[in-house]
Amino acid sequence: MKRTIVGFVVSALVLGGLALWALKGRIAGNAQEIVMAGIVLIVVGFAVYLGVSRLRSHLRHEPGEDELSKSVMTKASSLAYYISIYLWLFVMYISDKTTLEAHSLVGAGIAGMAVVFVLCWLGVKMFGMKNE
Amino acid sequence: MNNRIKELRAKEDLSQLHLAQLVGVRRETIVFLEKGKYNPSLRLAHDIAKHFRLPIEEVFRFDDEAG
């Protein structure tokens, strides 16, 4: 339960930060920033979904985590790590061919890793894991 | 691996949620097991078989097993 509350608080803080960033006019509204904000929203949405799912389990007197949810997380993490190696290889490859600054490329790489993890998690959930 | 959880559950008129609570997992895990999308740990397979008062091999079967 504690982890769920922490997850909700962190999600609210991230959303608050994003809203402040947009309201204070620091956001120029170019494509790069819009994509970045979209990625943040996807990752926060994923965290909120996990939190709501744990909360519902708690209300139904089920464990918040069990062997399936732990296995899905482990499998998704290992798959995301493996794919992220190629993602960074791609980032290194395009670093010479783009006008983006190094910090923007690193930010895009980190955001890409988060998106890769969410996609891997969805894939493992959708196709199951039989380990045969 | 396939299993008879759905059939045994129907016989006892037991809901997925109730079975999940009895063996200490989330309902989603029972859904995944019934759809054949997840192979349980030995501990969970034992707990489910124990609940139905059957040996594990009568609840869970490998696809290539004869009979």
pLDDT in tens, B5-53: 999 999 999 999 999 999 999 999 999 999 988 999 999 999 999 999 9
ipTM reported for the complex surpasses 0.95: no
CB contact under 8 Å between A128 and B36, yes or no, is: yes
CB contact under 8 Å between A128 and B35, yes or no, is: yes
**Secondary structure of residue A10 in the 3-state scheme:** helix
Q: What is the pTM of this model?
A: 0.80
Candidates A68, A129, A132; nearest CB to B26: A68
Give me the CATH code for the B2-59 domain, please: 1.10.260.40
Same domain, A58 and A71: no
Same domain, A73 and A54: no
Terminal alpha carbon distance of chain A: 33
Boundary of a domain, candidates A43, A65, A87 = A65
Same domain, A38 and A94: no
Which are the contacts of A37, defined by CB distance < 8 A and separation ≥ 6? A18, A22, A27
Same domain, A48 and A106: no
The residues on A that touch B, with CB distances below 8 Å, are 57, 60-63, 66-69, 71, 127-132
The per-residue pLDDT for range A42-99, each reduced to its tens digit, is 888 888 888 888 888 888 888 878 899 999 999 999 999 999 999 999 999 988 888 8
Range of the domain at A107: 66-132
Same domain, A70 and A60: no
Same domain, A26 and A56: yes
Candidates A63, A128, A129; nearest CB to B26: A63
Q: What is the count of structural domains for chain A?
A: 2
